Amino acid sequence: MAQVLIPTPLRQFADKQDTVEVPGRTIGDILATLTSTYPELRKNIFNDEGKLRSFVNVYLNDEDIRYIGKDAARVLDTDIISIVPSIAGGSLV
């Protein structure tokens, strides 16, 4: 099973885990299983149309899935998937 790294802001929706193992052959399969297992993650990762939120980036190993097939990107059991929400705010001094 592939490992999915859960970022700190989303861990509260995944039983406080930083990593979970999820079965699946594609990114789409894995994200569907992940959000089925942890339903509270769904609204933080996907919009109302079921597409990744614009501020959420997903990486397969070190590759942004937008450039390697998006949901259809093939996943091996040894792969690592990272969910990286964009963070904005603060001030410039």
CATH number, domain containing residue 64 = 3.10.20.30
Domain assignment of residue 10, yes or no: yes
How many domains does the chain divide into? 1
Domain assignment of residue 91, yes or no: no
pLDDT score of 73: 95
Domain assignment of residue 16, yes or no: yes
Per-residue pLDDT of the chain (93 residues; tens, 9 = 90+): 999 999 999 999 999 999 999 999 999 999 999 999 999 999 999 999 999 998 999 999 999 999 999 999 999 999 999 999 887 655 555
Domain assignment of residue 93, yes or no: no
pLDDT score of 19: 97
H-state helical runs in the chain: 27-37, 39-45
Class of residue 22 by CB neighbours under 10 A (exposed 0-12, middle 13-18, buried 19+): buried
Domain assignment of residue 42, yes or no: yes
Do the beta carbons of residue 70 and residue 27 sit within 8 Å?
yes
pLDDT score of 93: 56
Domain assignment of residue 46, yes or no: yes
Which residue segment(s) compose the domain that 48 sits in?
2-85
pLDDT score of 54: 87
Domain assignment of residue 48, yes or no: yes
